[in-house]
Amino acid sequence: MFDNIKWLISPEFRQQCEESEIIVSTRLRVARNIEGIPFEIKMKQTDAEKLVQVVKSATEMNLKGKYLLLQKVKGLERESLFESHLISSAIVRKEQPTGVFISEKGNITIMVNEEDHLRIQGLSCGLNLTNLASEVYEVEEILGQELGYAFNENYGFITSCPTNLGTGLRASVLFHLPGLVYTNEIDKILKSTLNLGMTVRGLYGEGSEIKGNLFQISNQHTLGFKEDELIEKINKFARMLIDVEKKARDVIMSRARNELEDKIYRSMAILCSARVISSDEVLNLLSAVRLGIGLGMIKDIDVNVLNEIMLVTRPGNIQLFYGEIFEEQERDVKRAEYIRSKLTKKNSN
Protein backbone atom coordinates (compact mmCIF):
# COMPACT_ATOMS: atom_id res chain seq x y z
CA MET A 1 0.00 0.00 0.00
CA PHE A 2 2.88 2.39 0.63
CA ASP A 3 3.26 2.12 -3.15
CA ASN A 4 0.45 4.65 -3.43
CA ILE A 5 2.60 7.43 -2.07
CA LYS A 6 5.97 6.19 -3.24
CA TRP A 7 5.76 8.51 -6.24
CA LEU A 8 6.27 11.48 -3.94
CA ILE A 9 9.68 10.17 -3.06
CA SER A 10 10.38 8.71 -6.49
CA PRO A 11 13.07 10.23 -8.73
CA GLU A 12 10.42 11.49 -11.12
CA PHE A 13 8.80 13.62 -8.49
CA ARG A 14 12.15 14.68 -7.15
CA GLN A 15 12.96 16.71 -10.22
CA GLN A 16 14.69 20.02 -9.60
CA CYS A 17 12.02 22.68 -9.47
CA GLU A 18 12.63 26.38 -9.66
CA GLU A 19 12.33 28.22 -6.33
CA SER A 20 11.35 24.92 -4.74
CA GLU A 21 12.55 26.16 -1.40
CA ILE A 22 9.89 28.92 -1.33
CA ILE A 23 7.24 27.08 -3.35
CA VAL A 24 6.75 23.61 -1.93
CA SER A 25 4.09 22.32 -4.28
CA THR A 26 1.34 23.19 -6.72
CA ARG A 27 -2.11 21.64 -6.86
CA LEU A 28 -4.94 22.01 -9.27
CA ARG A 29 -8.37 20.43 -9.15
CA VAL A 30 -11.48 20.51 -11.28
CA ALA A 31 -14.94 19.56 -10.00
CA ARG A 32 -17.21 17.68 -12.41
CA ASN A 33 -20.57 15.94 -12.17
CA ILE A 34 -22.17 13.37 -14.41
CA GLU A 35 -25.46 14.19 -16.10
CA GLY A 36 -28.24 11.91 -14.88
CA ILE A 37 -26.78 10.91 -11.52
CA PRO A 38 -28.12 12.74 -8.42
CA PHE A 39 -25.73 15.00 -6.52
CA GLU A 40 -24.42 14.36 -3.01
CA ILE A 41 -27.47 15.49 -0.99
CA LYS A 42 -29.89 13.40 -3.06
CA MET A 43 -27.63 10.44 -3.70
CA LYS A 44 -28.88 7.04 -2.63
CA GLN A 45 -26.68 4.04 -1.91
CA THR A 46 -27.48 2.55 -5.35
CA ASP A 47 -26.60 5.83 -7.10
CA ALA A 48 -23.28 5.91 -5.27
CA GLU A 49 -22.59 2.30 -6.28
CA LYS A 50 -23.38 3.14 -9.90
CA LEU A 51 -21.18 6.25 -9.81
CA VAL A 52 -18.19 4.41 -8.41
CA GLN A 53 -18.62 1.64 -11.00
CA VAL A 54 -19.05 3.86 -14.09
CA VAL A 55 -15.99 5.89 -13.22
CA LYS A 56 -14.10 2.65 -12.59
CA SER A 57 -14.87 1.39 -16.10
CA ALA A 58 -14.22 4.82 -17.67
CA THR A 59 -10.75 4.93 -16.09
CA GLU A 60 -9.99 1.28 -16.87
CA MET A 61 -10.82 1.77 -20.53
CA ASN A 62 -8.73 4.92 -20.95
CA LEU A 63 -6.15 5.62 -18.29
CA LYS A 64 -3.16 3.90 -16.77
CA GLY A 65 -3.21 3.65 -13.02
CA LYS A 66 -5.08 2.01 -10.18
CA TYR A 67 -8.61 2.46 -8.95
CA LEU A 68 -9.23 1.93 -5.24
CA LEU A 69 -12.62 1.48 -3.64
CA LEU A 70 -12.07 3.48 -0.48
CA GLN A 71 -14.36 1.31 1.64
CA LYS A 72 -11.99 -1.58 1.00
CA VAL A 73 -8.93 0.42 2.00
CA LYS A 74 -7.86 0.01 5.64
CA GLY A 75 -8.11 2.95 8.06
CA LEU A 76 -4.40 3.57 8.34
CA GLU A 77 -3.95 3.44 4.59
CA ARG A 78 -6.80 5.87 4.10
CA GLU A 79 -5.14 8.21 6.56
CA SER A 80 -1.93 7.93 4.60
CA LEU A 81 -3.71 8.78 1.33
CA PHE A 82 -5.06 11.87 3.10
CA GLU A 83 -1.71 12.86 4.56
CA SER A 84 -0.19 12.53 1.09
CA HIS A 85 -2.82 14.94 -0.28
CA LEU A 86 -4.29 12.27 -2.56
CA ILE A 87 -7.73 12.35 -0.93
CA SER A 88 -9.61 14.92 1.17
CA SER A 89 -10.88 14.67 4.74
CA ALA A 90 -14.45 15.00 3.41
CA ILE A 91 -14.21 11.79 1.37
CA VAL A 92 -12.61 9.91 4.27
CA ARG A 93 -15.66 10.71 6.43
CA LYS A 94 -18.22 9.44 3.90
CA GLU A 95 -20.13 6.24 4.51
CA GLN A 96 -21.42 5.70 0.96
CA PRO A 97 -19.21 4.00 -1.64
CA THR A 98 -16.35 6.26 -2.73
CA GLY A 99 -13.35 5.70 -4.95
CA VAL A 100 -10.02 7.12 -5.87
CA PHE A 101 -8.07 6.71 -9.08
CA ILE A 102 -4.31 7.22 -8.91
CA SER A 103 -2.49 7.59 -12.21
CA GLU A 104 0.54 5.42 -12.98
CA LYS A 105 2.87 8.40 -12.60
CA GLY A 106 1.05 9.26 -9.38
CA ASN A 107 0.64 12.95 -10.11
CA ILE A 108 -3.02 12.78 -11.13
CA THR A 109 -5.73 11.52 -8.80
CA ILE A 110 -9.50 11.43 -9.13
CA MET A 111 -11.73 11.40 -6.08
CA VAL A 112 -15.06 9.78 -6.85
CA ASN A 113 -18.20 10.68 -4.89
CA GLU A 114 -16.76 13.47 -2.78
CA GLU A 115 -18.89 16.65 -2.67
CA ASP A 116 -18.98 16.39 -6.46
CA HIS A 117 -19.02 13.19 -8.49
CA LEU A 118 -15.47 13.79 -9.67
CA ARG A 119 -12.65 15.84 -8.30
CA ILE A 120 -9.82 15.50 -10.78
CA GLN A 121 -6.59 16.79 -9.31
CA GLY A 122 -2.96 17.18 -10.23
CA LEU A 123 -0.06 17.60 -7.81
CA SER A 124 3.50 18.69 -8.50
CA CYS A 125 6.52 20.06 -6.66
CA GLY A 126 7.51 23.71 -7.20
CA LEU A 127 5.51 26.15 -9.30
CA ASN A 128 4.18 24.13 -12.16
CA LEU A 129 0.59 25.17 -12.85
CA THR A 130 0.74 25.37 -16.63
CA ASN A 131 2.05 21.83 -17.20
CA LEU A 132 -0.14 20.44 -14.50
CA ALA A 133 -3.23 22.05 -16.05
CA SER A 134 -2.60 20.43 -19.41
CA GLU A 135 -2.27 16.99 -17.78
CA VAL A 136 -5.41 17.47 -15.67
CA TYR A 137 -7.48 18.69 -18.61
CA GLU A 138 -6.34 15.80 -20.78
CA VAL A 139 -7.86 13.41 -18.23
CA GLU A 140 -10.89 15.67 -17.76
CA GLU A 141 -11.65 15.58 -21.50
CA ILE A 142 -11.25 11.84 -21.85
CA LEU A 143 -13.58 11.17 -18.92
CA GLY A 144 -16.04 13.80 -20.12
CA GLN A 145 -16.55 11.93 -23.36
CA GLU A 146 -17.07 8.67 -21.52
CA LEU A 147 -19.36 10.02 -18.82
CA GLY A 148 -21.03 13.23 -20.08
CA TYR A 149 -20.63 16.15 -17.69
CA ALA A 150 -23.48 18.27 -16.33
CA PHE A 151 -23.10 21.64 -18.08
CA ASN A 152 -25.11 24.85 -18.37
CA GLU A 153 -24.43 27.44 -21.09
CA ASN A 154 -24.61 30.38 -18.67
CA TYR A 155 -23.06 28.89 -15.57
CA GLY A 156 -20.64 26.35 -17.02
CA PHE A 157 -19.98 23.05 -15.27
CA ILE A 158 -22.69 22.39 -12.69
CA THR A 159 -21.40 21.60 -9.24
CA SER A 160 -23.02 20.56 -6.00
CA CYS A 161 -22.18 23.89 -4.33
CA PRO A 162 -22.68 27.26 -6.07
CA THR A 163 -19.19 28.31 -4.92
CA ASN A 164 -17.69 25.91 -7.49
CA LEU A 165 -19.89 26.69 -10.52
CA GLY A 166 -18.34 27.59 -13.87
CA THR A 167 -14.85 26.24 -14.27
CA GLY A 168 -14.96 24.13 -11.10
CA LEU A 169 -11.28 24.99 -10.94
CA ARG A 170 -9.24 25.50 -7.80
CA ALA A 171 -5.52 26.14 -8.23
CA SER A 172 -3.42 26.10 -5.05
CA VAL A 173 0.19 26.89 -4.38
CA LEU A 174 1.86 25.87 -1.13
CA PHE A 175 4.29 28.59 -0.07
CA HIS A 176 7.00 28.49 2.56
CA LEU A 177 7.24 32.05 3.88
CA PRO A 178 9.36 32.24 7.05
CA GLY A 179 10.85 35.60 6.04
CA LEU A 180 7.45 37.28 5.95
CA VAL A 181 6.45 35.59 9.21
CA TYR A 182 9.60 36.68 11.11
CA THR A 183 9.34 40.26 9.82
CA ASN A 184 5.64 40.36 10.80
CA GLU A 185 4.67 41.29 7.27
CA ILE A 186 2.67 38.17 6.62
CA ASP A 187 -0.68 39.56 7.81
CA LYS A 188 -0.44 42.49 5.44
CA ILE A 189 0.40 40.20 2.53
CA LEU A 190 -2.35 37.75 3.37
CA LYS A 191 -4.93 40.54 3.56
CA SER A 192 -3.94 41.70 0.10
CA THR A 193 -4.47 38.19 -1.28
CA LEU A 194 -8.15 38.44 -0.36
CA ASN A 195 -8.50 41.60 -2.42
CA LEU A 196 -6.92 39.78 -5.35
CA GLY A 197 -9.63 37.13 -5.17
CA MET A 198 -7.44 34.56 -3.44
CA THR A 199 -7.65 32.82 -0.12
CA VAL A 200 -5.14 31.43 2.37
CA ARG A 201 -5.32 28.08 4.11
CA GLY A 202 -3.04 25.74 6.01
CA LEU A 203 -1.16 22.68 4.79
CA TYR A 204 -4.26 20.47 4.68
CA GLY A 205 -6.66 22.90 3.01
CA GLU A 206 -9.91 24.30 4.31
CA GLY A 207 -10.02 24.69 8.08
CA SER A 208 -6.48 23.43 8.65
CA GLU A 209 -4.04 25.30 10.85
CA ILE A 210 -1.02 27.18 9.59
CA LYS A 211 2.04 25.18 10.61
CA GLY A 212 5.71 25.28 9.68
CA ASN A 213 5.34 28.68 7.94
CA LEU A 214 3.44 26.92 5.17
CA PHE A 215 0.63 28.81 3.48
CA GLN A 216 -1.65 27.42 0.83
CA ILE A 217 -2.96 30.13 -1.47
CA SER A 218 -5.75 29.46 -3.95
CA ASN A 219 -8.36 31.23 -6.06
CA GLN A 220 -11.70 31.98 -4.42
CA HIS A 221 -13.99 32.26 -7.41
CA THR A 222 -14.62 29.74 -10.14
CA LEU A 223 -16.97 31.62 -12.49
CA GLY A 224 -16.35 34.35 -15.05
CA PHE A 225 -12.79 33.76 -16.20
CA LYS A 226 -10.86 31.58 -18.61
CA GLU A 227 -8.81 28.79 -17.05
CA ASP A 228 -5.56 30.04 -18.64
CA GLU A 229 -6.13 33.54 -17.30
CA LEU A 230 -6.51 32.28 -13.77
CA ILE A 231 -3.35 30.20 -14.02
CA GLU A 232 -1.43 33.20 -15.34
CA LYS A 233 -2.81 35.36 -12.54
CA ILE A 234 -1.65 32.87 -9.90
CA ASN A 235 1.74 32.50 -11.57
CA LYS A 236 2.21 36.26 -11.46
CA PHE A 237 1.10 36.42 -7.85
CA ALA A 238 3.48 33.60 -6.92
CA ARG A 239 6.41 35.39 -8.54
CA MET A 240 5.50 38.55 -6.64
CA LEU A 241 5.34 36.62 -3.39
CA ILE A 242 8.74 34.99 -4.05
CA ASP A 243 10.14 38.45 -4.51
CA VAL A 244 8.75 39.91 -1.26
CA GLU A 245 9.75 36.79 0.69
CA LYS A 246 13.35 37.16 -0.58
CA LYS A 247 13.38 40.82 0.40
CA ALA A 248 12.08 39.96 3.89
CA ARG A 249 14.90 37.42 4.23
CA ASP A 250 17.45 40.08 3.26
CA VAL A 251 16.07 42.32 5.99
CA ILE A 252 16.45 39.59 8.64
CA MET A 253 19.93 38.75 7.42
CA SER A 254 21.01 42.37 7.74
CA ARG A 255 19.41 42.88 11.14
CA ALA A 256 19.65 39.59 12.94
CA ARG A 257 22.03 37.35 11.05
CA ASN A 258 23.50 35.66 14.12
CA GLU A 259 20.13 34.84 15.65
CA LEU A 260 18.84 33.47 12.36
CA GLU A 261 21.95 31.34 11.76
CA ASP A 262 21.67 30.04 15.29
CA LYS A 263 18.03 29.07 14.77
CA ILE A 264 18.78 27.30 11.51
CA TYR A 265 21.79 25.32 12.77
CA ARG A 266 20.07 24.42 16.04
CA SER A 267 17.07 23.12 14.09
CA MET A 268 19.37 21.06 11.91
CA ALA A 269 21.13 19.70 14.98
CA ILE A 270 17.87 18.70 16.64
CA LEU A 271 16.65 16.92 13.50
CA CYS A 272 19.95 15.05 13.23
CA SER A 273 20.09 14.00 16.86
CA ALA A 274 16.59 13.87 18.37
CA ARG A 275 15.45 10.52 19.70
CA VAL A 276 11.75 11.44 20.23
CA ILE A 277 9.98 13.96 18.01
CA SER A 278 6.37 14.95 17.17
CA SER A 279 5.15 15.58 13.63
CA ASP A 280 4.39 19.24 14.32
CA GLU A 281 7.86 19.84 15.75
CA VAL A 282 9.25 18.31 12.58
CA LEU A 283 7.31 20.79 10.44
CA ASN A 284 8.72 23.74 12.37
CA LEU A 285 12.31 22.48 12.35
CA LEU A 286 12.09 21.60 8.67
CA SER A 287 10.98 25.15 7.97
CA ALA A 288 14.18 26.52 9.52
CA VAL A 289 16.37 24.05 7.60
CA ARG A 290 14.52 24.86 4.40
CA LEU A 291 15.25 28.52 5.02
CA GLY A 292 18.90 27.61 5.63
CA ILE A 293 19.03 25.98 2.20
CA GLY A 294 17.39 29.05 0.64
CA LEU A 295 19.95 31.35 2.23
CA GLY A 296 22.83 29.15 1.13
CA MET A 297 23.85 28.26 4.70
CA ILE A 298 23.06 24.58 4.32
CA LYS A 299 24.53 23.21 1.13
CA ASP A 300 24.63 19.44 1.40
CA ILE A 301 20.91 18.76 1.68
CA ASP A 302 18.44 18.79 -1.16
CA VAL A 303 15.04 20.43 -0.69
CA ASN A 304 13.45 17.24 -2.02
CA VAL A 305 14.84 15.33 0.96
CA LEU A 306 13.01 17.77 3.22
CA ASN A 307 9.81 17.27 1.20
CA GLU A 308 10.20 13.55 1.63
CA ILE A 309 10.72 13.88 5.39
CA MET A 310 7.71 16.17 5.63
CA LEU A 311 5.55 13.56 3.93
CA VAL A 312 6.84 10.34 5.48
CA THR A 313 6.85 11.68 9.05
CA ARG A 314 3.11 12.34 9.17
CA PRO A 315 1.45 10.10 11.80
CA GLY A 316 -0.15 7.65 9.34
CA ASN A 317 2.66 7.57 6.82
CA ILE A 318 5.39 6.80 9.37
CA GLN A 319 3.49 3.68 10.42
CA LEU A 320 3.00 2.59 6.83
CA PHE A 321 6.64 3.25 6.10
CA TYR A 322 7.71 0.80 8.81
CA GLY A 323 4.76 -1.47 8.05
CA GLU A 324 3.68 -1.57 11.70
CA ILE A 325 1.06 0.03 13.94
CA PHE A 326 2.71 2.22 16.59
CA GLU A 327 1.34 3.94 19.67
CA GLU A 328 1.91 7.70 19.69
CA GLN A 329 5.09 7.57 21.81
CA GLU A 330 6.60 4.80 19.75
CA ARG A 331 5.71 6.73 16.62
CA ASP A 332 7.69 9.73 17.87
CA VAL A 333 10.71 7.46 18.38
CA LYS A 334 10.41 5.89 14.92
CA ARG A 335 9.95 9.32 13.36
CA ALA A 336 13.17 10.56 14.95
CA GLU A 337 14.97 7.42 13.79
CA TYR A 338 13.76 7.87 10.21
CA ILE A 339 14.82 11.55 10.11
CA ARG A 340 18.29 10.74 11.45
CA SER A 341 18.73 8.12 8.77
CA LYS A 342 17.74 10.59 6.05
CA LEU A 343 19.85 13.52 7.24
CA THR A 344 22.99 11.85 8.45
CA LYS A 345 23.69 9.84 5.33
CA LYS A 346 26.87 10.95 3.62
CA ASN A 347 25.09 11.71 0.42
CA SER A 348 21.70 12.86 1.54
CA ASN A 349 20.54 13.53 -1.96
| 76-115 positions binding another protein, by CB under 8 A | 115
By CB under 8 A, how many residues form the interface with another protein?
57
Site for another protein in 154-173 (CB under 8 A): 154-163, 165-167, 169
Smallest distance, Å, CB 86 to another protein? 22
Q: Which is nearer to another protein, 194 or 269 (CB)?
A: 194
Least distance CB 123 / another protein (angstroms): 21
CB of 137 to another protein, least distance (A): 7
Segment contacting another protein (CB under 8 A): 11-19, 123-131, 149-157, 303-311? 149-157
Closer Cβ to another protein, 153 or 327, answer by number: 153
Binding to another protein, residues 22-41 (CB under 8 A):
33-41
Residues ≥6 apart with Cβ < 8 Å to 167: 30, 156, 157, 222, 223, 225, 227, 230
How far is C-alpha 324 from the chain's CA centre? 25
Q: Compute the CA torsion angle 217, 22, 321, 211 (nearest 10 deg).
A: -60
Comparing CB distances to another protein, the nearer of 41 and 327 is: 41
CA 127 vs. chain centroid, Å, equals 12
CB of 114 to another protein, least distance (A): 13
**Interface with another protein (CB under 8 A), residue from 74, 89, 151, 345:** 151
The least CB distance from residue 41 to another protein, in Å, is 5
Residues that bind another protein (CB under 8 A): 33-42, 50, 53-55, 57-58, 61, 115, 137, 141, 144-163, 165-167, 169, 191, 194-195, 197, 199, 220-227
